[in-house]
Structures are given as structure tokens and as C-alpha cells.
A and B are shown apart, each in its own frame.
Chain A
Amino acid sequence: MRSHDKIVILALVLLFLGACNDTNQKKVTYITSGAISEYQLQYRNDQQEMVNLKVNPESASDKWKFEFMADQGEIVYISGNYKDIQSSLLIQILVDGKVYKQGNSQADTIKYLTVSGVVPYN
């Protein structure tokens, strides 16, 4: 093989590798807690679909959790509402294990507690 042919092959390999691009995903975790009775949740999942769910906790320390991998810049959203005036709700969104956003409400049966944002870029 002639030397310039080697150069071409090597260069083509580099060109091919240059075309590759890896994505940088992050682990998103939704956590709800603090409620003593049934509450309604709506959240955006890893397929960017809205999911409606009823949660029945046994005590205020019961945690509901949902984890998924998301691209940077993806919208994360979770909203909850309870009808028991004695209840409360804490909603957290964690990104790579660290609290990214959170909110809480007490004895507010009317307003939805919404925590949302976008998965931050590095």
C-alpha cells in the first residue's frame, strides 16, 4: 500500500469519527411526599407525555418516586392537588440526585402545586 493511500484511509477514519456525536443525558427524579390522604398527580414522563395518576399514601412520610433519563433542555413538569384540608404536599424534582426545583403547599385544596423547568445544560 502506498504511503498516501495510508494517509487517505487514516484520514477517512478520522472523518468518520468526527461525524459521531454523543448525547449527554441526565437522571431526573420526581418525588412527592407529605400527603396523608389521596392526591392527584400529573407529570411529564420520559416520552414527553402527560400522565395522570392517583396516589394513596399511608402516611406523610410515604414517598412517591418516578425516575427517568432526559436530555439536557428537556421540559420537566409535575403538578399535584389534594382535596383533604388536613393534607399537604411536597414536590421535588431532582437532576442527577440534586434538588433542582421544589414546592410545597398546606391546606390548599383549590390550587394545583406545580413544579417545572428544563433540565439544565452543563
Chain B
Amino acid sequence: MHSLLYLPILIFLLISDLACAQTTYLSGVVRSSGNNQPIAHVEIMNVQNDASTLTDHKGLFSIPVKENSVTVLILRHLGYETDTLNINKIPNEPLEVFLHEKVSKLTEVEVFGDANQNSTLLKTEITRIDLEKTPFQDIGSYLRTEPNMGGIRKGAMGIDPVIRGFKYSQLNVQINGGTKIEGGCPNRMDPATAHVDISDLQKITIYKGPYALKYGPNFGGLIRLVTNELSFNESYETHLNMMVGGQTNYQGYKSRLNVAGGNKLLAYSLSTNWNKYGDYSSGNGETMQGSSNNYSLKGQLGIQPVAGQKFYVGYDRSWGKNIDFPTLPMDERNDNTEIYDFSYLGTGFGEVVHFIRAHIYNSDVNHEMDNKSRPFSDTVVAISNIHAINTGGRFAINFDLGKGVLEAGSGFERISKDGTRSKTMIMQPNMPVLFENLWNNSLVNNLGIFAEYQYKTSRFDWIASARLDINQGNSDPMTRYSMKGDTIFMDANTKSNYTNLSLSAGATWHINDHQNLAVSVGKGVRSPDITERFITLLPVGYDNYDYLGNPQLKPEANHELDLNWTYTNSRLGNLTTGIFFSFVTDYISAVMVPTSEVKPQTKGVLGVKRFINIDQAYLTGFEINYVTPAQKFWDAAFSAAYTTGINPKATRYLIESGQVTGEETINNDPLPEIPPLEANLAFYVHLLKNQLSPGAKLRMVAAQNQVSKAYYEKTSPAFTTLELVVTYHYSDQVTLYGGVSNLFNTNYYEHLNRRVVGSLSPYMEPGRICYLNLIINL
């Protein structure tokens, strides 16, 4: 019997037990007394009934309380003084609570996430509650709804994040304090985010720009995912968290079960996820391939032998099966990923050393892809097996220097990749099989040292950081042989060594109680990734060419300036605006290689391109966010964002009848795969003392006409979607999130969706979806 069949029984038993509970909800907003800004992740505990919650990124919270009795709330946050509220009568208006910053200049002390409160860093936080409300089965699907973020979509899962036009290795994605994952697919069907189940996430923190350098080489942005659920308790506690979600269209379900508990000495957490989705209908009724099947098991153990000394070990195993990627030549057949990690956080070393942190990890991805569901498999069955390992660690000491805080340390990362592709000629006598090396024991090592200094005064927050990375790569000779064993391509010069210096600095001026002005400048340098160095004749680019890696590439450098202004007013709401300008030198692009040098090996491609550095490119854009003050019955939010990128001198290859016949230079060609102008409007109503919160989310995306001529990028039309959402807090333990996305069944696709292989059609987004997620917390 399938395990999920037990879930409804369990849910019924639990709900029947809880049905008698009567609940009133107390809502409000928590702000900093220093700058009036909302504070995310304030832990709020109701002493009376042991209920607890966290504030969201707008500082908002809602917590169950008993009517007609005194309510005692404890508010805790690492960067602020703990506060206790005694409430005699539940107010009709939402509460507004102000917390005072701690006198000591605390920086982050969370083990896995971060509580870095420096206002200069361009940080966005997404909470678990934000994620639970959605029908998304993929982290990238959620991220592309954030301002100035997008996602390159190639299939059912694995949407590859884009921040302000930066993508792939220009972004640093890490889990639980530094664990990194190297995906197996050369075409990035499994970026790092694809190996983490969205239902496991406790928090996502996004840093835009090349400023947060202490977490690793950071070129265009940093995405930190937190899945850890360990917590030490004064006395032994056990908690159960269950989630079951289902939806129409994209028919399928997601389910999650977590048991966590512990006491002062030990903490543990065990989780499992099971997600299964089918094909879906686009807005015009066309069936799109989008099936996927994922499951995972995760265990974590924490030990605190003495107060202030915490040790954690974690093991995470996930599997993906039969995941459709209709825009790529292959689908994912099997993925088997294992992650081990060990973390340490020590505090209480005296007045100077604030904390010591260490983290080591190993992620191991075995990824199998094939073309068995494609028409080409009638003659050639191609199967690729890739083994990608990422091993690394980070060590940091945080010093309290009286007037400021200094954090310094070191980080190491080792990426290795090896794999082959078999081609079975199933229409030939004896079924001959050709084996090709996709990776040739390719290896990249990176050792970095870093330091970050933060300093606060009553009017200014200052931050400066520096990072030095020594990067080395090598591989067995990059080779490709024919069926007869003749050499088609060979490059034995595969060694590369880089020394990269990254710098950033910024300041926030607290102009008055309502306004802040922040300026950041930074230079983030990244070494070429393993694909850009060692890929051998595979079509891994946006355009239709086989690509060749180039071990002699230079590092790419992003010089960025950010200017942000925020206005906060308890009566008028919060307004945040920002502009950025990014000047990229040694931008990594590609040029065509003459066929006399090497011939393409993939059927239907136009030729071979080799990665090279071009002189420069630049990107610029803006972001606007507005959130209304917490109202009695409603609140609303608006955001808009835009990015444009330019290659001042691009080469366009002229194509006639499927052949390259010449080339021309295009001045100021837009960079490819930049999301268009987008605006979002959300409106929520709070009824039944906040037990019921229906709302609507309007998403308006402009046409993208700024497309790269050099890459023959296609324009995409504008679209608008409306989603209806509802949250129902049935009791302290049971919450329902539901909704209808794409209410008007709009037929649309995102600009970054790739085209379906064998057709000119884009990979369309789903039409109307009705969804329901049930969350149980015991």
C-alpha cells in the first residue's frame, strides 16, 4: 500500500481530535525602534498556549490567543532586545510593536541561515509561510515571482534562477550555511535549487549584487537556502509537521512529513517528501509535457554538550525520476543525490570573540538522462550518466571590536565531474554502442579567504568586505572520437590558475525616523565555471551551436553600484526604491570556430562555438516595493522591477538555409535572457479575527522586445495573470492554503522559457490551476 494512502487516515484522526479547539488570532507588525523598518523572523511565543510564530518579511505576524484572558507574548530576535508584552484585552486594531536593537553590534549567529541585520546589504527574505501558500513544486518557480528575478525554464522542474540578468555561475546558491551542489546535466536541467525540495525550506535569503563576499565568491547575487529544522528545548519536546497539497491541471500532489524534537542536549529532525505531477494544459488547452516524480529522506542531529557549543550532522538523500524536459534533447531519467554535512557554532569565548563557525560538506549527484521519450530514439538510444561531486567547507571567526564587528575566515570548494554518454544504434545489426566522454575527470578547486567589517553609529551603518580566491582547474584531455576511433577533437592544454580579488563597501544613512539612503559599491570576480572551461562539443548554450570549453578564459568581473532609498511611516506604509548599474569586464561569451578546425557533432546545430571573454557588457535597472501599513481588515503590496543588459559590440552570424554564411557586428546588442519589466499587486482582506484571509495577486509582465540579435533571441508578448488565494487558520494546529492561479486561463509563457525541441513553440505555462495545501503542526 502506498504510504500516502495513510495520510488521509492520519489527518482525519488528528483533525477529529482538534475539532473542538476555539481560536482567536492576534495580528500585528514588529518594527525596529531605530529606523522604523519592519523586522523579519522575530520569534513570537504565546506563553499561555505555547503557540509560536515568526514575522514575515514585512514584519507581520498572526498568532492564536485565548479570548477573555491575559495574553503574554515573548518576542525574540538575535539582533534585538527580547521584549515581553502583557495584553489584557485583544485589541481590534493590529498591534504595532517596536524592538530595540541590542547594544552590542551583533552580526549573524544563526547556524544555518543568517541574521545579518546590516541595512546596506540588499537582502530579501522569504519565509516558510510564504512558500507554504503556493502551489509551486520547484524553488525556481517561486523565485521568479520576486522583483527583478526570473527563471530559465527547460522542463517540469529545475527552473534556473536569474537575478537582475545574472544567471548560472554568476549566482552563488548554497544550502544550510554553505553546502553547494554541482548539478549533473551539462544543460543545467538540475541546477543546485533542483536538488532541494521546496517543502523542506524554512527560509530563503537573497542578496543582490556582489556585496556579501564572506559567503563565497559572489559575482551577481547570492541565494541561501535553509532546510534545517533542529531546535534545542528546555525540556524534551516532539513536534510533527505534515503537509499535503494537491492541484488540478498539472495534476499531482506534494506531501511532506517531519518529526523534530529534542531537549537541551540533543535535537533531531527526520523528514520525508513525496511529489508527483503529471502533464498539464496551457491556457489554450494544449497538453504540455511536465511530468515529474521526486522523493527524499532527510535526517539531522544536533548536540549541545555545554551551553554555547553546538554540533550538527545532517544527511539528505533525494531521488528524481522520469522528469520531462521537452526543451532539451534529453529527459531526466534518474537522479540520486546525497548530501552530508557537519556544522559547528561556538559562542561564549569572551568579550572579543563573538562566535566561531565551521561547516564542512559533501554533495554527490548521480544523474542519468536519455532520449528514450524522443523521436530520435527510434534509431539511436542515447543515455548520459554524470557523476558530480562538490566537497567544501567554511571556517569563520566573528570578533566584537567594541566599535565594530569583524568577521574573518576561509572557505574551500572542490568540484569534480565525470561522465559518459552511450549511443546505441538500435537499427543496426548487432546494435553497436558508441561511448563518448562528456566530462574527462574535470576538476575545479577554489580556496578563499575573506574579511568583513561592520560599524554602526546612530546615523550611519557601514560595511566593507574583501575576498581573495585562488582557483585552479584541470581535466584529462578534452576529447571526442568518432565511431571508428578517429580523433574529432582534442585539447590537452586544460590547466588553469586564477587569483581573484573581490571588494565591496557600503553605507546606509539614517536621514531621519522615516528615511534611509544606502549606497553600495563592489567588485565581484568569478573564475570560469567547469562548463565554460571543459565542455566538449555539446549544445549547452541558448543558441543552436555545439559548445567548446576554453581553459584559457580569464575571470569575469562585475563592478556594481547600488543606490537605495527607503521611506517608512507607520501611517503611510513602507516604500523602497533602488537603482543599480553593473559594468562587467571580461564578460564570458562565445565565438564561432571554423569548421576546418572542428566540426559540430550534434544533429541540426549550426556550428561550433568556443567560450571567450569579450571586453565588456553592462546591466542596469530598478526596483520599487511598497507595502501598506498593517490595517485592521486589509493590507496590500506593490512591486515593479526592470533590468536591461547591453553588449556594446556583439557578433552575429548570418544564416541561410541552415548554414552560416558570414558575420556582422551589432553595436549595443541587448544581452540574451533578460526578464522584461514586471509589476505585481497583491491585496488581502482579514476576516473572522484573522482566521480567514482571502486575497488576490495580479501579475503584469510587459512584452520583451529588447532581445539579442546576435543570439537570434525571439521577442515575447506581454501577459497578465490573476491569482485568488485564501488562508484559513482552522485551529492552532491546522491551516489551509488554497487558491486559483491563472484565474482567467491566460495562454502565456515567460520570456525565459526555452523553445520545445523540434518546434518553434515556446514551452507554455500552465492554464488555470486550483490548489489546496493542508498544513498540520503538532
Measured CB to CB, the residues of A under 8 A from B are 4-5, 7-8, 10-15, 17-21, 42, 44, 50, 73, 75, 77, 79, 112, 114, 116-118, 121
Contacts and interface: CB of A to CB of B under 8 A. Distances in A.
A102 to B, nearest CB: 13
Give 8 nearest A-B pairs by CB, closest first.
A17-B3, A4-B238, A116-B426, A18-B272, A11-B259, A118-B372, A18-B3, A15-B272
24 contacts: A4-B237, A5-B238, A7-B238, A8-B238, A11-B240, A11-B257, A11-B270, A12-B270, A13-B6, A14-B257, A15-B257, A17-B1, A17-B2, A18-B3, A18-B274, A19-B295, A21-B295, A42-B429, A44-B431, A73-B370, A75-B431, A79-B429, A118-B372, A121-B322
A7 B258 CA distance: 11
B238 A50 contact: no
A15 B259 CA distance: 10
B333 interface: yes
Contacts of A4: 237-238, 261
Contact of B6 (A12, A17, A21, A117): A17
Interface residues of B, number: 35
Contacts of B377: 117-118
A114 B428 contact: yes
Contacts of B759: none
Contacts of B271: 15
Contact of A14 (B10, B372, B373, B378): B10
B3 A117 contact: no
A7 B240 contact: yes
A14 to B, nearest CB: 5
A70 to B, nearest CB: 13
A37 B10 CA distance: 65
Contacts of B428: 114
Interface in B73-110: none
A12 B258 CA distance: 9
B314 to A, nearest CB: 16
A10 B7 CA distance: 11
Given A17-B3, A114-B429, 5 more contacts: A14-B3, A14-B10, A73-B333, A112-B429, A117-B426
A77 B426 contact: yes
Contacts of A12: 259, 270
B143 interface: no
Contact of A121 (B270, B274, B372, B430): B372
Nearest to B298: A15
A55 to B, nearest CB: 17
Contacts of A114: 426-429
Nearest to A118: B372
A25 to B, nearest CB: 15
Contacts of A17: 1-3, 6
A116 B377 CA distance: 10
Contacts of A5: 238
A33 to B, nearest CB: 21
Contacts of B370: 73
Contacts of B297: 15, 18-19
B424 interface: yes
B778 interface: yes
B372 A73 contact: yes
A121 B373 contact: yes
A5 B238 CA distance: 8
Nearest to A16: B3
Contact of A50 (B378, B381, B427, B430): B430
B381 A118 contact: yes
Interface in B1-19: 1-3, 6-7, 10
Given A8-B238, A73-B333, A14 B427 contact: no
A5 B236 CA distance: 11
Contacts of A11: 240, 257, 259, 270
A68 B2 CA distance: 26
A82 to B, nearest CB: 14
Contacts of B274: 18
A112 B238 CA distance: 67
Contacts of A117: 377-378, 426
A7 B6 CA distance: 14
Interface string B265-297: 000001110100000000000000000000101
B258 to A, nearest CB: 8
B320 to A, nearest CB: 12
Nearest to B271: A15
A4 to B, nearest CB: 4
Interface in B279-334: 295, 297, 319, 322, 333
A44 to B, nearest CB: 7
Interface in B387-436: 424, 426-431
Nearest to B13: A10
Contacts of A50: 430-431
A20 B6 CA distance: 14
Contacts of B6: 13-14, 17
Contacts of A77: 426, 431
Nearest to A114: B427
A44 B381 CA distance: 14
Interface in B603-628: none
Contacts of B257: 11, 14-15, 18
Contacts of A44: 431
A118 B373 CA distance: 9
A14 B256 CA distance: 10
Interface string B211-243: 000000000000000000000000001101000
Contact of A75 (B270, B272, B426): B426
Contacts of A13: 6
A23 to B, nearest CB: 10
Nearest to B431: A77
B85 to A, nearest CB: 29
A75 B297 CA distance: 31
Contacts of A118: 372, 377, 381
Given A21-B295, A75-B424, A116-B427, A7 B270 contact: no
A40 B237 CA distance: 71
Contacts of B2: 17
A121 B324 CA distance: 11
Contacts of B427: 114, 116
B224 to A, nearest CB: 27
Nearest to A111: B429
A7 B259 contact: yes
B381 A75 contact: yes
Of B259, B333, B424, most A-chain CB atoms within 10 Å:
B259
A96 B141 CA distance: 38
Contacts of B240: 7, 11
A88 B7 CA distance: 58
Interface in B532-557: none
B370 to A, nearest CB: 7
A20 B3 contact: yes
A7 B424 contact: no
Of B2, B3, B319, B424, most A-chain CB atoms within 10 Å:
B3
Interface in B354-374: 370, 372-373
Contacts of A7: 238, 240, 259, 778
Nearest to A74: B372
B259 A8 contact: yes
A18 B10 CA distance: 14
Contacts of A10: 10
A1 to B, nearest CB: 12
A11 B260 CA distance: 10
B335 to A, nearest CB: 14
B424 A19 contact: no
A18 B294 CA distance: 11
Nearest to B321: A21
